[in-house]
Chains A and B, each alone.
Chain A
Amino acid sequence: MKKLILSTAALAVSAGVAFADNHGKTVRLGTEGAYAPWNFVNDAGEIDGFERELGDELCKRAELTCEWVKNEWDTIIPNLVSGNYDAIIAGMSITDERDEVIDFTQPYTPPDPSAYLAMSPDVDLENGVIAAQATTIQAAFVAEQGWTVVEFPTPEETVAAVKSGEADAVLADKSFLDTMVGSDGLVMLERMEAIGGGVGMGFRESDAELRDMFDAAIQSMKDDGTLNEMIAKWEVASQW
């Protein structure tokens, strides 16, 4: 509770009433910055993408001052629970495993299938080699099927592996792979996998109040249709 009352009036600019005691509270948002179109670093070296726009809008509605922090995907949750930033907004699917450690808001995009990208449409998944980003739900899925998984540290390298012939196909979020279809002869397979829930923001379990604030802001964006517009603009998922 103490965290929320910490208000320094000097920084407060906006004149809302609903969340009056948030004025000037700085919330630090952690993201990866390597997962277009969700979040990436643009030519100017700034964080850009669907979640950048979404996060800024949510902060505006909750009347919070937000700052963006980049963090490696591997340590994104440990750094949240350790308090180095206050929320994760990094295309993170809501899973039971993660939910045990952190708290999620309601999803801001509906569950979307994961898709395969390969050099030819008739690749044999069962006997082939499938690339996935290390320690993602997709990597775990391929391993569970008993197929051969080859794991790379970044999403970029998984696609590069398919192009170079290292792997036969890559399994990742459909929206991420959509941006790659067609380049260097990459095609998307018909087969999709329904793994993972929707994507939500992650918070420390002890930070329920902050979570509720963002949850309310997401709800208000869902209600007035701005969220759907944003989803359409960045082509990250299907509509609500």
Chain B
Amino acid sequence: MFSYCTDPSTLEGLTWLSCYLTTGKHMGFYLSFVTVIVLLLITAPVALLFGFAGASAARSRFLPLSLLGKTYTAIVRGVPDIAFFMFFVIALDQAFEYLRHKVKCPDWSEPVRQGNDFVVCAQAKLPLSTSPQWVHETYGFALAVLTFSIVFGAFAANVLYGAMRAVPRAQLETAEAYGMSTRQTFWRILVPQMWIYALPGLSNLWMILVKATPLLFLLGVEDIVYWARELGGTKTARFSDYPHGNWHAIYFFGLLVFYLMLTSVSERIFKRITRRLSHGQATAAGEAQRKAVQ
């Protein structure tokens, strides 16, 4: 990075540190923090979508659909997330490739499962094996987002299901009295009002999601834990210009601080959103806001 970094063995103290902290490897480490935050920002809305679908399904009057919604949430939540992360990515990847294979290569005669091998036609590979590396990485990242969303969508479904039931019956009955159809009542009355009831649960869920990100490396994403393990390990002079002992404790302390910061910032943001959402709602907090204005 800096011009004086050509021979780190002659450096000491802060200059050594400034070189050490700007190696290409450390840049990968810093980039992985961005990866984690981007993943969180994408996963949250997608998981919410899964949750919304799950909750709507569980609420459905059509029995198979309601059973499906309930089984989804019950199974995912009864199992530690780590157990899913161990095989979900490969399973999802194979499922997608299998579907593409069926569509793109209808006249393929060989079996897809050959012993242990999972073989689909070249056009069905995801991504195509000719694609540049960044496409592969993006695809891997997308699979990680999807896995996280499936798992946390089940939790979100549970929260939203509860929130839908918490909206006062009188509100829905009034809507019906005004002649709204079931669909209109759902979208115009129930959905706008349920968020305030869902917020405490959702903010809790966000915290759990944040704290699940150290398992990202199981999904094949090079996350902060991967780099902290790699960088903190003992380095001998033969393979690195910056030999050092086992620095795992230092790197993991850094991660600890990062997570503490992330969770306390999130907490503050959620407090603000709660204030905003309470505005004009038929709840105690909403009433208090109304009185304060008058």
User: In the complex, which range does the number of interface residues on chain A fall in?
Assistant: 35 or more
Q: Mark A44-55, 1 if CB is under 8 A from B, else 0.
A: 111011000000
Beta-carbon contact of B130 and A8 below 8 Å: yes
* Bound-state Cα–Cα, A179 to B93, Å: 38
Beta-carbon contact of B122 and A34 below 8 Å: no
* Bound-state Cα–Cα, A46 to B238, Å: 16
Known A-B contacts A41-B230, A44-B25; A205 and B116 likewise in contact (beta carbons under 8 Å): yes
Residue A67 interfacial (CB < 8 Å) = yes
Known A-B contacts A42-B25, A45-B27, A83-B120; A26 and B234 likewise in contact (beta carbons under 8 Å): no
List the B side residues contacting A86 at CB < 8 Å. Answer: 129
Beta-carbon contact of A83 and B97 below 8 Å: yes
* Listed residue (A6, A83, A184) with the most chain B CB atoms within 10 angstroms of its CB: A83
Shortest Cβ gap from B130 to chain A (Å) = 5
List the B side residues contacting A8 at CB < 8 Å. Answer: 130
Quick one: which of A24, A72, A82 contacts B217, CB cutoff 8 A?
Answer: A72
Shortest Cβ gap from A160 to chain B (Å) = 5
* Bound-state Cα–Cα, A83 to B115, Å: 14
Binds A, one of B39-47, B144-152, B240-248, B275-283: B240-248
Beta-carbon contact of B234 and A160 below 8 Å: yes
Beta-carbon contact of B25 and A83 below 8 Å: no
* Bound-state Cα–Cα, A102 to B119, Å: 13
* Bound-state Cα–Cα, A204 to B117, Å: 6
Residue A2 interfacial (CB < 8 Å) = yes
Shortest Cβ gap from B249 to chain A (Å) = 11
Residue B239 interfacial (CB < 8 Å) = yes
Beta-carbon contact of B239 and A36 below 8 Å: yes
User: In the complex, which range does the number of interface residues on chain B fall in?
Assistant: 35 or more
Residue A120 interfacial (CB < 8 Å) = no
Residue B185 interfacial (CB < 8 Å) = no
Nearest-CB residue, chain A, relative to B236: A179
Beta-carbon contact of B240 and A156 below 8 Å: no
Known A-B contacts A44-B24, A44-B25, A70-B222; A26 and B115 likewise in contact (beta carbons under 8 Å): no
Taking A6-B129, A71-B220, A179-B239 as known contacts, 13 extra A-B pairs with beta carbons closer than 8 A to each other, sorted by chain A number, are A3-B122, A6-B122, A24-B130, A26-B129, A40-B239, A41-B25, A44-B24, A49-B239, A67-B133, A83-B118, A84-B93, A154-B229, A160-B234
- Give A residues with C-beta under 8 Å from B: 2-3, 6, 8, 11, 24-28, 33-34, 36-37, 40-46, 48-49, 67, 69-72, 75, 78-79, 81-84, 86, 101-102, 154, 156, 159-160, 163, 179-180, 183-184, 204-207
- Give B residues with C-beta under 8 Å from A: 23-25, 27-28, 90, 93-94, 97, 114-122, 125, 129-130, 133, 136, 217-218, 220, 222, 229-230, 233-234, 236, 238-242, 245-246
